[in-house]
Amino acid sequence: MVLFIVIPACRESFFKKSDMDDAIIIGAGIGGLVCGCYLAKAGMKVLIAEQHYKPGGYCTSFKRNGFIFDAAAHSFGGYREDGIVRKVFEDLEIDKRVEITRFDPSDIIITPDYKVSFWTDLDETINDFQTAFPEESNNVKNFFNFLINPDTMFLARMRSWTFKNLIDKYFRNYKLKAILSFPIFGNGALPPSKISAFIGAKIFTEFLIDGGYYPVGGMQTLSNALAESFKEYGGELQLSSPVKKIKVINKEAKGVFIKNGEFIASKYVISSCDARQTFINLLGKKMVDQDFLNKLNHMIPSLSMFVLYLGMDKNFNPKQNIGSNIWYLPHYSIEKMYLAAANRNINNLSEYMVRISSDKKSILAFINTSCRNKIYWINNKNKLIESFITKLTQIIPDISKNIIFKDAATPYTLYRYTLNYRGAAYGWASTPSQLADPDFRKPSFIQGLYLTGHWSTQGLGIPGVTYLGYNTANLLIKKEKTKK
Ligand SMILES: Cc1cc2nc3c(=O)[nH]c(=O)nc-3n(C[C@H](O)[C@H](O)[C@H](O)COP(=O)(O)OP(=O)(O)OC[C@H]3O[C@@H](n4cnc5c(N)ncnc54)[C@H](O)[C@@H]3O)c2cc1C
């Protein structure tokens, strides 16, 4: 398993330019942009083709009625001194283009009985949990110690474990276990009995213990900064350019066709978009190994989300922390929450995450849910917006009187803007059996084709895809160097 292992950065200007592209990247999400930056920085001739008119994928922002909203991703982790996102942003000089702030606490979990927070200072976080659960005091300490200093042998053994196996090893109190599992459900879209222990632990280290970072100006500034760096390194970014087909000759990828039928030849094709689309539509079933196709047809995507966007008037003055992710857990069965979400019963969904922007002008709120067809969302979206606002009064009691704009993204909206299968929030569901499958990084049956981003089974969220973009680029750079 290669998640988040840092390998040395590449040297610049190693490659000679030719007319043919060295690499074409499909998709300008964070995974594709990071990969493109490293390749272009190393001197390769790189084109990123993006179907949307702006870069970023799930990491974009939009403006409505004068309000700026982050479309999906709304904060990130992995930015500590030796964190993968910091390393990459320093390498690519993103830190010079964008100011990064951090909210403290990054995450707050509220239940009918407890309020615990994830603070910048880990000792404070541990103290919060110990105060809430004094009988589990030593276990809390041991659990967080394990997360920040994991034993390699134990990590290897954990490969087949679920997060439930891991927390059952440390804790007895079912309420504490639910509180610890809730942000894992929110950030990984699976309950403790299904999500890989490895991914659960990564969500703690990369999203919660080291989370709460935010680019001043909104998430789009991050994607724009990556796009600018990519272009400065000599890369070409084509927006509004959906890739329609990957050309294959003798089981080797030779380039892509974009929307107007134009063919662009390249040595490597790197798909940083939805994996089903890559194999079924872009390559075509005939090009895909039959065993792999069977496996692909049985793979389970992660859940999607219903995202509420609220614009607030000038009198909105909430008592709650601004910029923090506030998680509301109304009961202690994450398994039941997952079943309601997976069974598409959005009216029964009671848990959520809400975030008030630092200028108090807007609110984002999220509920995990599964995909339904376009008609269902057209018929139900407004009803769901109203019931979601009612639910939010549990955290922000007088919210309704200050709302001057409301809208929502449904799973169908998420799909439409990014072409992620079923609007999946995190690529494939991170179950132990779907983790780190090498065929989703470098399919053995097609030469010259690589996958990166959150469908490649090896990482999710901004820290995960940042690492993957970096790692894929380094694989190719090393391969090219050994050829010379
Ligand atoms: C509602 C929501 C909230 C989230 N919140 C957070 C958060 O706060 N923090 C966090 O770390 N993670 C969060 N995530 C997860 C995170 O956003 C994703 O895991 C990550 O951004 C995925 O990046 P990616 O580059 O792999 O893919 P994507 O962002 O999906 O990018 C893929 C790109 O490929 C393009 N594309 C698709 N098909 C084609 C084609 N045929 N031709 C050309 N281009 C194509 C798409 O338009 C898109 O731009 C959230 C996700 C959702 C849905």
The C-alpha atoms of residue 23 and residue 46 are separated, in whole angstroms, by 5
State the distance from the centre of ligand 1 to the C-alpha of 193, rounded, in angstroms: 25
Burial classification of residue 19, based on how many CB atoms lie within 10 Å of its CB (0-12 exposed, 13-18 middle, 19 or more buried): exposed
Residue 276, helix vs strand vs coil = helix
Instruction: Give the H/E segment covering residue 173.
Output: none
- Other residues' Cβ atoms within 10 Å of the Cβ of residue 335: 16
78 Cβ closer than 6 Å to some ligand 1 atom? no
Q: Whose CA is nearest to atom 18 of ligand 1?
A: 461
230 Cβ closer than 6 Å to some ligand 1 atom? no
The token duo for 392 is 């939010």
Look at residue 343 in the predicted model and tell me its pLDDT: 84
Return the CATH architecture of domain 21-99+216-299+429-483. 3-Layer(bba) Sandwich (3.50)
In this structure, the strands spanning 46-49 and 21-26 are: parallel
76 Cβ closer than 6 Å to some ligand 1 atom? yes
Mutate which of 25, 47, 273, 276 for ligand 1 pocket (most atoms within 8 A of beta carbon): 273
- SS3 helix, strand, coil % of the chain, rounded to 5? 40, 20, 35
Q: Kindly list the domain boundaries of the chain, sorted by start residue.
A: 21-99+216-299+429-483, 104-208, 303-418
**pLDDT (tens digit per residue) in 211-252:** 999 999 999 999 999 999 999 999 999 999 999 999 999 999
The token duo for 171 is 């804790």
Phi, psi (degrees; rounded to nearest 5) at 239: -85, 170
| Bridge partner residues of 101 (DSSP) | 214
278 Cβ closer than 6 Å to some ligand 1 atom? no
Listed residue (367, 397, 464, 187) closest to 195, CA to CA: 187
| Bridge partner residues of 310 (DSSP) | 363, 406
The C-alpha atoms of residue 247 and residue 14 are separated, in whole angstroms, by 27
pTM, to two decimals:
0.95
426 Cβ closer than 6 Å to some ligand 1 atom? yes
The C-alpha atoms of residue 28 and residue 52 are separated, in whole angstroms, by 9
| Helix (H), strand (E) counts: the chain | 16, 18
DSSP assignment, residue 284? I
Report the atom number in ligand 1 closest to the C-alpha of 414. 53
**pLDDT (tens digit per residue) in 381-390:** 999 999 999 9
46 Cβ closer than 6 Å to some ligand 1 atom? no
CA distance to 3, 262, 367, 371, per residue, from 75 (Å): 20, 37, 16, 24
CA distance to 121, 360, 408, 416, per residue, from 386 (Å): 37, 20, 10, 23
The C-alpha atoms of residue 253 and residue 282 are separated, in whole angstroms, by 11
Phi, psi (degrees; rounded to nearest 5) at 120: -60, -35
Residue 353, helix vs strand vs coil = strand
Listed residue (4, 3, 11, 8) closest to 480, CA to CA: 11
223 Cβ closer than 6 Å to some ligand 1 atom? no
State the distance from the centre of ligand 1 to the C-alpha of 424, rounded, in angstroms: 9
Walk along the chain (484 residues) and give the pLDDT tens digit of each residue: 434 433 333 333 344 445 678 999 999 999 999 999 999 999 999 999 999 999 999 999 999 999 999 999 999 999 999 999 999 999 999 999 999 999 999 999 999 999 999 999 999 999 999 999 999 999 999 999 999 998 888 888 888 999 999 999 999 999 999 999 999 999 999 999 999 999 999 999 999 999 999 999 999 999 999 999 999 999 999 999 999 999 999 999 999 999 889 999 999 999 999 999 999 999 999 999 999 999 999 999 999 999 999 999 999 999 999 999 999 999 999 999 999 888 867 777 789 999 999 999 999 999 999 988 999 999 999 999 999 999 999 999 999 999 999 999 999 999 999 999 999 999 999 999 999 999 999 999 999 999 999 999 988 999 999 999 999 999 999 999 988 7
The C-alpha atoms of residue 462 and residue 460 are separated, in whole angstroms, by 7
Listed residue (48, 29, 21, 27) closest to 237, CA to CA: 48
Q: Whose CA is nearest to atom 7 of ligand 1?
A: 73
Q: Per DSSP, which regions of 279-370 are E strands?
A: 304-312, 325-328, 352-356, 362-369
246 Cβ closer than 6 Å to some ligand 1 atom? no
Q: Whose CA is nearest to atom 21 of ligand 1?
A: 58
**pLDDT (tens digit per residue) in 161-180:** 999 999 999 999 999 999 99
The residue whose two tokens read 């704009």 is 405
Look at residue 1 in the predicted model and tell me its pLDDT: 41
Report the atom number in ligand 1 closest to the C-alpha of 52. 47
With contact defined as beta carbons under 8 Å apart, do 208 and 108 qualify? Answer: no
225 Cβ closer than 6 Å to some ligand 1 atom? no
| Bridge partner residues of 281 (DSSP) | none
